[in-house]
Amino acid sequence: MKENLLEKINQAPEGEPARQYYFMKLAKELVEERSKEAGRPLTFDVVTFGCQMNARDSEKLEGILEGAGYVKSEDEDSDFVIYNTCTVRENANLKVYGRLGNLNRIKRRNPHMMIGLCGCMMQEPQVVEKIKKSYSFVDLIFGTHNIYKFAELLVQALVHHSMVIDVWKDTDRIVENLPVDRKYSFKSGVNIMFGCNNFCSYCIVPYVRGRERSRNPKDIIDEISHLVSDGVKEVMLLGQNVNSYGKNLEHPVTFGQLLEEISGIPGLERIRFMTSHPKDLSDELIDVMSRHPKICNHLHLPLQSGSTKILKDMNRHYTKDEYLLLVDKIRKSMPDISLTTDIIVGYPGETEEDFEETMDVVRKVRYDSVFTFIYSKRTGTPAASSAKQVPHDVVKERFNRLLKEVQTISAEQISRFSGTVQEVLVESVNEQDPSLVTGRMSNNVLVHFPGDASMIGTFRQVYLDTCRGFYYMGKER
């Protein structure tokens, strides 16, 4: 390492985020040197696996890489490729391992290429050990707790010729106000909290995302106000369990109170949020949602199972009857709300009777959409060590039955808007037919209708002509 470079690193300020901006500037100097050697600008590609939280984190990674002088690409044949990983299900891990093999072949052809791995999968010690052993060509590994340190870690990776690993077991730190490259100019995710305290017996998230940490409400309001001044019309408030927001703050604030404040921001037109845990959904939140038209007419309320016995084993802290009573309360206050959910099929110990309880809830609630999952063992969770694993053929048969039921109900539910005029926020030109644009109604249902790129980011009144099961074909009014 050059002496002056070492001196520069040692002169970095201690306070955040100033420290990261310092390292971004230093990284830019190093990237410029490499660009001269290559005779071209160096490119980057951020590949995102998983949830909206990861998507938001990836926007931060992209902002930092652009600040460091890399040029954005959407091709894994780039000079810096980073995978922001998910580990909710085992196949997510397998997908990463498979794609790493391909990156190795690309890297052999490109002496300037670097590979980074971050996100939830990197919080698992056995994963990091496997990468060290079998994928030694990876340059940088970090987890979920220190993503804000990316600029600093990038400098280390650019300087050293060995794998840089910086994975924290947990943290109580929240560092914001770093560069962000938003995917959309007119909508944005906003983190309101990090981590989870629920420890559902099948879920790895609390182990990889850490304990709940809520952001200061003023910081959230300031961020959203800044986004609105920059053209954002819709925000998605993000947290593993937004309903428990604010409990760990020095001066506790409820999620309902936060929503009330956000609803008052001038120029903001739509507010979404996820995910809601049924055990923490308060009467106050239902009241706030029913009173504020800016809050979208959609609630994602994960059920996971309709069996009280299985729910207890899952450590979900509500019963089937309590869930149904909550749905009744929501629908009495907001009769036309679109409810969506998550359901796991084949949780250890699930009997045919347990599965029929789930089917009963599906028929009673009549969800607009259901995300169905076959139970996936996650090493380190209580459910993974259960001796009551359900045979795969039984699980598959139940899964197919559930899928058929939810598809039928969802199509009937969504079709109730046929022949009405709805406000649609245009998001993109349709991928299959460039004469159409695609947007979303307040209830999150997709609508395709004639238009062009000039309409992206605008609200349009659209007549819903034809329901195609999970989306609409329409025409502007």
The one-letter amino acid code at 294 reads K
> Strands, DSSP E only, in 313-470?
338-345, 369-374, 421-429, 436-440, 446-450, 459-467
State the CB neighbour count (10 A cutoff) for residue 113: 21
Share of the chain above pLDDT 70, in %: 99
> What's the average model confidence in pLDDT over 83-107?
90
Residue 174 has pLDDT above 90, yes or no: no
Share of the chain above pLDDT 90, in %: 88
**Burial environment of residue 99 by CB neighbours within 10 A (0 to 12, 13 to 18, 19 or more):** middle
> Is the distance from CB of 191 to CB of 215 less than 8 angstroms?
yes
Residue 87 has pLDDT above 70, yes or no: yes
The two structure tokens encoding residue 308: 């009280």
Average pLDDT of the chain, as a whole number: 95
> Is the distance from CB of 20 to CB of 151 less than 8 angstroms?
yes
Residue 90 has pLDDT above 80, yes or no: no
Instruction: Determine the pLDDT at residue 50.
Output: 86
* pLDDT class of 2 with cuts at 50, 70, 90: low
> What's the average model confidence in pLDDT over 369-384?
91
Distance CA 210, CA 57 (A): 16
Task: Round to the nearest angstrom and report the end-to-end CA distance of the chain.
Answer: 65
Phi first, then psi: what are they for 372, rounded to 5°?
-105, 140
Residues pairing with 345 in the sheet:
374
Give the angle subtended at the CA of 155 by the CAs of 154 and 160, to the nearest 5°.
Answer: 100
Instruction: Determine the pLDDT at residue 3.
Output: 62
> Is the distance from CB of 198 to CB of 315 less than 8 angstroms?
yes
Residue 7 has pLDDT above 90, yes or no: no
Distance CA 206, CA 194 (A): 10
What pLDDT, in 10s, does the model give residues 312-370? Answer: 999 999 999 999 999 999 999 999 999 999 999 999 999 999 999 999 999 999 999 99
Distance CA 346, CA 352 (A): 10
More confident residue, 112 or 379: 112
What pLDDT, in 10s, does the model give residues 28-40? Answer: 999 999 999 999 9
The DSSP 8-state label assigned to residue 353 in this structure reads: H
Residue 456 has pLDDT above 80, yes or no: yes
* pLDDT class of 228 with cuts at 50, 70, 90: very high
SS3 422: strand
What pLDDT, in 10s, does the model give residues 122-138? Answer: 999 999 999 999 999 99
More confident residue, 2 or 205: 205
Distance CA 156, CA 153 (A): 5
What pLDDT, in 10s, does the model give residues 186-209? Answer: 999 999 999 999 999 999 888 888
Q: CB neighbours of 454 closer than 8 A, spacing ≥ 6?
A: none
Residues pairing with 422 in the sheet:
462
Distance CA 155, CA 152 (A): 5
* pLDDT class of 160 with cuts at 50, 70, 90: confident
Phi first, then psi: what are they for 295, rounded to 5°?
-80, 120
> Is the distance from CB of 435 to CB of 388 less than 8 angstroms?
no
Largest CA distance in the chain: 71
The two structure tokens encoding residue 43: 């490119």
SS3 387: coil
SS3 254: coil
Distance CA 58, CA 378 (A): 24
Cα–Cα separations (whole angstroms), residue 135 to 113, 294, 343: 15, 48, 35
More confident residue, 3 or 210: 210
In terms of Cα–Cα distance, which of 108, 106, 143, 149 is closest to 127? Answer: 143
Instruction: Determine the pLDDT at residue 156.
Output: 95
Enclosing H/E stretch for 194: strand 193-194
Cα–Cα separations (whole angstroms), residue 341 to 201, 395, 414: 18, 19, 15
The two structure tokens encoding residue 31: 């990237």
Distance CA 153, CA 59 (A): 17
State the CB neighbour count (10 A cutoff) for residue 193: 25
> What's the average model confidence in pLDDT over 18-46?
96
State the CB neighbour count (10 A cutoff) for residue 272: 20
